[in-house]
Structure 1
Amino acid sequence: MFMSHLFNRRTVLGSMTALGSLYAAAPLLAQTTKIIRIGYQKSSTLISVLKLQGALEKQLAPLGFQPSWHEFTSGLPLLEALNLNNIDFSADVADTVPVFAQAAGAQLTFVAQEAPSPSAQAILVPKDSPLRAVADLKGKNVGFAKAAGAHYLLIAALAKAGLTLADINARYLTPADGRAAFEKGAIDAWVVWDPFLSAARIQSSARLLADGEGLASYQRYYLSSTRFAEANPKVLDVVYAELERAGLWVKRQPKDAAALLGPFWGLDPAIVEQANGNRSYAVRAVTPERLVEQQKIADAFLAEKLLPKPMDALNVPLFKPTAPSRGARG
């Protein structure tokens, strides 16, 4: 089974919101209406905006489609669900996650990419920590989510300091568990992404040890199952255009976006606004040139023996949007 050494199927299915009752509500829709099952996580800002605004319901209706929404704890179980045909479209996941999916043979199509946001993930330490540089992490307990963008950031930061993962005590933790361990002092450092990053810095006065500048670009990807992409290019055109519009809206109206997302995420709008300021939200088509760092990521994980064999991270199906841009609207 896909990525069985990291997540079993029960974990994946358990992380989904109401998937088992997905079709229970189907009679409420017209008999000819089809469903696009969208998976997302807490850091999926633009998909969250579209969900809250009802934008996809409106724009997909003329094509006979309606979205259904399914929340996951992080990117890896999200893409496993995509590979298992439990969802059709994955909201943004960190650049590392597709590498693991591809290594396991998942049939995924890259639909869109967010331009780099290197400051949206970082290595944090408590405000009174004696640790002052990445080199000080040697022998320390460091928490992070396995296969997440934070994982690659840590590898890159350690390498620059002349260390490897073998030089630290790695603690694989979900964002929620990582926050709890960080505040209890169970870990010496925490590597995490926004909005968790901004929440820890504002609420716990966590101190930045290093972010992704010069280390990891942190480009986030939107993916579809290849099966769905080949059968429904017009649907993906609509989704792509709405993501582009949402990205522009968040950057142009930061306070409105924070006010919308704050209650949904259970975070103070000030935290959300800071987190959104760290992300580019510049949605763009995926091209071979924009995938170059994916190979670097794959090679780094192979060197750490976290991938079973060398892989070509660039030979992947790419969706080419054809719908006119609606990013300037609204």
Structure 2
Amino acid sequence: MLFRSLRHVLRWTAPLLIAATSLHASAQTTLRIGFQKSASLLTLQKSSGSLEKKLSSLGVAVKWVEFPAGPQLLEGLNVGAVDVGFVGEAPPIFAQAAGARFVYIGFDPAAPEAEAIVVPKDSAIRTLADLKGKKIALNKGSNVHYLLVKALEKQGLKYSDVQPVYLPPADARAAFERGAVDAWVIWDPFLAAVEKQSGARLLQDGRGLVNNYAYYLAERGFAQQHPQVIQALFDDNQAQAAYVKANVKAAAAVIAPLQGLEPEVVEKSLTRYQFGVKPLTPAVAAEQQKIADAFHALGLIPKPTRVADALPATTVAEAAR
């Protein structure tokens, strides 16, 4: 009789137990991070598992989603494939102009030496003026897009004076090495790799032309609902940044196999970046607005874009309190 009563109770309570278990599982937050393999600090965070350890106490899982470059990452953020992403200066401008919904949540300090225009070692191109009429490879909508604009402007050339060839990094390098393009505008560690492995000659880096900030972006709803998660990401980022700055050679040895590069290449690229996420400032936002205005003036984006519309109401630290 007792057995029959217990079975009767279980018959009615089992679905409720299953539902409760499912509800608990679905309630767990997952932080989906969009990254590029070229983003050395995030690559180090991913490989070390340090972020997973930090977030486990909050009941948060981590999923890493790799993209070949910033524009593709922004597409992923816009369609809900990732919650947070890390990109250069230009991708957010193009994405916002296309109607993408995101907020700027932080930035890495300026690193103008970490991007450059390069030419083959035996190229007859010696100055920026020599680029007139030439084919120049770049990833459309990436941070180097603005570098090319400013470099041409410095020389008194228009964007229409050159032939942009829009290719992602891997395809651009192949085109560069077989002579299908005359120059390549690229960022580290791809820059350091082509310098060392192909003897590419640096024509102009970003110094005196661009800041080359990098930005952390988030889906607006995720940023509003989970500021503590984002703060944990930033705390871990700061710890890894301090480690890299104090142990460049050791960090390069860890990151190199993950990026498929030689340690010397990664070490060179690490010395050209300034790591350590910071809250966005009005001055940095104003610099980003200059890029948006320049792109609109050139017809690279279809309408004026207000960077202020993509800024959060409060900093991550303030929201996490």
Q: Same fold (TM over 0.5)?
A: yes
Q: CA deviation at 1:30?
A: 6.1
Match of residue 76, structure 1, among 65, 71, 77 = 71
Structure 1 gap ranges (5+): 1-26, 324-330
Question: Aligned partners of 2:302 and 2:239: how far apart in 1?
Answer: 39
1:199 aligns with 2:193: yes
1:100-142 CA-to-partner distances (Å, cap 9, x unmatched) read 1211222212121000000000000011111111110001111
- Bigger Rg over Cα: 2
Q: CA deviation at 1:228?
A: 0.3
Within 5 A, what are the aligned runs for 1:1-330?
33-90=28-85, 92-318=86-312, 320-322=315-317
Q: CA deviation at 1:244?
A: 1.4
Higher fraction of helix: 2
1:264-295 CA-to-partner distances (Å, cap 9, x unmatched) read 00000000000011111132111222211111
Q: CA deviation at 1:31?
A: 6.3
- Normalised to the residue count of structure 1, the TM-score between the two structures is 0.86
Which stretches of structure 1, 4 residues or more, deviate above 4 A after TM superposition? 29-32
1:288-330 CA-to-partner distances (Å, cap 9, x unmatched) read 222111111111111221111112123322351328xxxxxxx
Q: Secondary structure at 1:209's aligned position in 2?
A: strand
Instruction: Report if aligned partners of 2:147, 2:210 keep a CA contact under 8 Å in 1.
Output: yes
Q: Secondary structure at 2:56's aligned position in 1?
A: helix
Count of residues in Structure 1 that have an aligned counterpart in Structure 2: 295
Q: CA deviation at 1:53?
A: 0.5
Give the RMSD, CA atoms, in angstroms.
Answer: 1.5
Q: Secondary structure at 1:315's aligned position in 2?
A: helix
Structure 2 gap ranges (5+): 1-21
Question: Match of 1:75, as an amino acid?
Answer: G
Q: Secondary structure at 1:283's aligned position in 2?
A: coil
Question: Aligned partners of 1:283 and 1:227: how far apart in 2?
Answer: 21
Instruction: Report if aligned partners of 2:237, 2:276 keep a CA contact under 8 Å in 1.
Output: no
Q: Secondary structure at 1:63's aligned position in 2?
A: coil
- Normalised to the residue count of structure 2, the TM-score between the two structures is 0.89
The residue aligned with 2:9 is: none
Q: Percent identity?
A: 44
Q: Secondary structure at 1:171's aligned position in 2?
A: strand
